[in-house]
A and B are shown apart, each in its own frame.
Chain A
Amino acid sequence: MGTVSAATRWRARLALVAVLTAWGSGRAGAQSTHANATGIVIVVGQQATTPVPTLMEGAANSIGNQDVADQLFLRLAELGPNLVTVGERDFVPALARSWTRRDSTTLVFELDPRARWHDGAPVTARDVVFTFKRAKNPDLAPRVSELLRQITSVTAEGDSRVVFRFARPYAEQFYDATYHVAPIPAHLLDSIPPDWVSRSSFAASPVGSGPYRWVRSVPGQFVELAAVPDFFLGKPKIERVILRTAVEPSARLNLLLSGQADAMDIIPPPSVNQVAADTTVRLIAVPSSTMGYLLFNQRDPKNRVRPHPILADSRVRRAIRLGLDRRQLVQAVFGSQGMVPYGPVSQLLWIRHRSPRAEAPNVSEARRLLAATGWGDSDADGTLDRDGRPLRLVLSVPNTSGIRRQMALLIQEQLRRIGIQIEIQQLEFPIYLERRAAGDFDVDFSSVSQDPSPSGLTQGWACTGGNNVAGYCDRGLDSLMEQAIGGRGDPGEKWIEALRRIEEDAAATFLYAPAFMYAVNRRFRGVTITPQSAWLSLRKWSVSPVPAAGRSR
């Protein structure tokens, strides 16, 4: 064997590197999603595991599952653009082409005879009856069955007429009948025992009635859907939809900015400018269901029988609210995409359009209120005190929320100016939740994701609400919310009155209700994003045959 000189060996190595680089760069071009002219790649944070109505319980009640289920399964009717959940006027026909009211407790839906399951079978009234029977079984669907508790029966009259009967007259009957669960195919599921559906081939490859059908799922990577060519409400123009998963926000952002994805939901606020600099994508602000607030514990965390030694007094709670410049806080974290809510109301709830503006900060009034409750700075150390004890509160924050951690620091600083000492306690998420549920906090930095219906507010604010962890109780408020949900007349007015009561009592300080930013490649046309489910109107989008121009920054 002849010897090879060192120079030759190095030349060979350099050539190898050059070949690899050329191969990499050549292939990277093919990676572009533009290779698929009629498809879309959406990068999301959660992968769908069981996107089947009636199976989305517990952890399966996730955005990942909901996003896919909304493409696969059509509801009887969809919420309209104003997201008004009372009455029937704001709803848009879907599986049902029309509806009538027989009396105050009976609704009748006429199914669209053109509706088909993805296997070609017609959608019938039997499917709807079957679905609601499953959905109302608390052992199978504890969450949904609770939401459907007012529906006493669902019966079929022939193949295309379904009759819903309700326990009593109330404003959201139509919403309850259409929003919480979309029909599933009885002819494919009635032979499978209910307990086995989640492990069946149906759950692994669902058959629905929506604009897109299931193609495949690659665990941890993506879900692929394909347009249903003979979809009765019009063939979707985007033929292939890929929901690509990346849990880490930075990975999602890289997929979008590298051209490996066409769209991304919920751009983290600090990254919005970076995305805006990419001229191939457009940013769209979408009202979100999220709302953040400081929840004041009414009970002593050490002994829940006793009132909280500081926060049981509504004047202290009100002083905290007045001491905070909430608009400044929102501006600092969300820029122009956030608003200060009046009451526990996200941008998703229709009642926000009728609510007053949030109270402006008033530091002198805050100081006056604190002085009136006996808090003064006797030792001139900058922190108020009473009976030798400083006005010190612990603010619980989950360490997983960058937004809340950032805002907590600003709150600490703003309240220091009026003599309130805030100790920020960052907790691992499960521990944070456990302590919150046990009422073990002074002030909890809460964040909720709301359904479009304001009736969910009872969970957090009614005396017996399942999520009322602060021990807040106002019988007058309970009565108002009960009237808003079930009473006659204008429910909007009752809800605003309820919000006013919560605000006046300063049960919490409501800080932010943001819009989230979504990014979509400019080659897509007719883009609308619905707040209640981001990709719901995807079937109406179209795609430009000409790829968008190259990026520039």
Chain B
Amino acid sequence: MSRWLLRRALQAVATLAVAIALLFLLMRAAPGDPLFRLSADRPISQKEAEVLRARYGLDQPVGKQLLAFAGGLARGDLGVSIEYGRPVTALLVERLPATILLGGSVLLLNFTVGLWLGVRQAVRRGRREDRWLTTLSLTGYAMPSFWLGLVLAWLVGVEWRLLPAAGMQDPLLSSDAGVLERAGDVLRHLVLPVLTLSVVSIAATMRYQRAAMLEVLHLPYIVTARAKGLPERVVTWRHAWRNALFPVITLFGLWLPILVTGSVFVEAVFAWPGLGSLAAGAVGSRDYPLLMGASLLVAALVVVGGFLTDVTYALLDPRVRLG
């Protein structure tokens, strides 16, 4: 097992290295120069352009820039953002908590409520509850999250004023507010973005889980379990659900990078200070260092997601590591 794990981990590291190199080169090959953005509406002199180009290492050949980036990466230094004039690592660290909070809440809801509803649907297949939930999940799945976000922000935030329309915290909250009050404040701001993202993601999980459960529920060992007189709850959750988890584990691996990339629009609509909006801004301004930092994070999440999926499969099914 440990040898298999080591081999799989090395594969993951190699994949990540190739992804980083490709990202770096593709970014440089794409049209658009970060310094042109600076002259978008205020002319910059040639001298100013030269100084800035040298400051950010853009006057060096691409190969040299790649080496410098790799050297910096080895030291944990991702360079300085052209747009913000600050170290990229500091910017990513600042924005990471908001992203983890938003994405983590969505994942948590997704893999609790989504799984539970999916199982419930499968167990009640063909009944009215199943039909309703199918309709609701398909509606949710078909709904563009940015549109839903705009509608929720307007209705709940502006018209009804039930919850904050945007932001992550109330800047007017007293500096001597307690931890509970602060947590409550963040929670109120979190509701709408989480709801927006969850509607789509829960719908997908429900569909996956329902289909997987339906396959398992017809297998002979379930019939045997029922014939033994086990309660239906035990049959469903202890016997059927465990085996119906595999497709959902794959789904979890796929969802992990969406923590960052999937929330770009929702972060914009709700002014949520996460990594998604930071990365989107970096694309528009060709802020290479920041773009590389964000891409690196997403690439790492993709690789880690794949790695975790494989390891979980291997833990649950010995045939995987034997194969």
Contact = CB atoms under 8 A, between A and B. Distances in A.
B287 to A, nearest CB: 8
Given A27-B184, A219-B91, A430 B36 contact: yes
Interface string A17-44: 0000100110111110101100101000
Interface stretch (A52-60, A307-315, A320-328, A508-516): A52-60
B170 interface: yes
Given A250-B150, A254-B154, A28 B163 contact: yes
A28 B164 contact: yes
Which range holds the interface residue count of chain A? 35 or more
Nearest to B281: A247
A143 B163 contact: no
B32 interface: yes
B301 to A, nearest CB: 20
Given A138-B47, A257-B158, A430-B37, A218 B164 contact: no
A459 B158 CA distance: 45
Given A219-B94, A431-B32, A433-B40, A254 B166 contact: yes
Interface stretch (A126-134, A220-228, A383-391, A492-500): A220-228
Nearest to B87: A199
Contacts of A254: 153-154, 157-158, 165-166
Contacts of B94: 219-220
A220 B84 CA distance: 11
Nearest to A223: B171
Contacts of A242: 171-172
A106 B42 CA distance: 29
A129 to B, nearest CB: 23
A448 B43 CA distance: 9
A428 B34 CA distance: 13
B323 interface: no
A29 B32 CA distance: 46
Contacts of B51: 138-139, 142
B87 to A, nearest CB: 8
A150 interface: no
A465 B270 CA distance: 42
Contacts of A24: 162-163, 188, 191
Contacts of A57: 48, 52
A414 B16 CA distance: 53
A467 interface: yes
Given A28-B162, A39-B172, A221-B167, A49 B85 contact: yes
A31 B172 CA distance: 8
A249 to B, nearest CB: 10
A117 B181 CA distance: 35
Given A219-B95, A222-B171, A258 B165 contact: yes
A341 to B, nearest CB: 16
Interface stretch (B59-67, B113-121, B251-259, B271-279): B271-279
Nearest to B85: A60
Interface residues of B, number: 66
A483 interface: no
A436 B171 CA distance: 41
Nearest to B91: A219
Interface string A428-452: 1111011011000000000111010
Nearest to B169: A221
Nearest to B157: A258
A433 B32 contact: yes
B47 to A, nearest CB: 5
Interface string A221-242: 1101000000000000000001
Contact of A142 (B40, B45, B165): B45
Interface string B124-161: 00000000000000000000000000100110011011
Contacts of A142: 45, 47-48, 50-52
Nearest to B156: A24
A299 interface: no
B171 A218 contact: yes
Given A220-B95, A466-B45, A259 B161 contact: yes
Interface in B75-99: 82-87, 91, 94-95, 98
B45 A143 contact: yes
Contacts of B204: none
A225 B281 CA distance: 26
A146 interface: yes
A247 B268 contact: yes
A222 B273 CA distance: 10
Interface in B241-273: 268-271, 273
Interface string B268-298: 1111011001100100111100000000000
Contacts of A31: 161, 164, 170, 188
B33 A218 contact: no
A254 B155 CA distance: 10
Contacts of A36: 172
Contacts of B2: none
B32 A434 contact: yes
A220 B172 contact: no
Given A33-B172, A255-B167, A146 B45 contact: yes
B1 interface: no
B39 interface: yes
A379 to B, nearest CB: 37
A178 interface: no
B31 A467 contact: no
Contact of A248 (B39, B83, B268): B268
B38 interface: yes
A134 to B, nearest CB: 14
A98 interface: no
A142 B48 CA distance: 5
A76 to B, nearest CB: 23
Contacts of B273: 218-221, 245
Nearest to B163: A24
Given A33-B172, A245-B271, A257-B165, 4 more contacts: A258-B165, A430-B284, A437-B39, A447-B41
Question: Which 5 residue pairs across A and B have the least CB separation, nearest first?
Answer: A220-B273, A430-B32, A467-B43, A246-B271, A142-B48
30 contacts: A21-B162, A31-B188, A35-B172, A41-B171, A49-B85, A50-B85, A58-B38, A59-B38, A59-B83, A59-B285, A142-B47, A146-B47, A221-B167, A221-B273, A251-B165, A251-B270, A251-B271, A254-B153, A254-B157, A254-B158, A255-B167, A258-B165, A259-B161, A260-B166, A429-B37, A430-B32, A431-B31, A434-B31, A449-B41, A456-B43
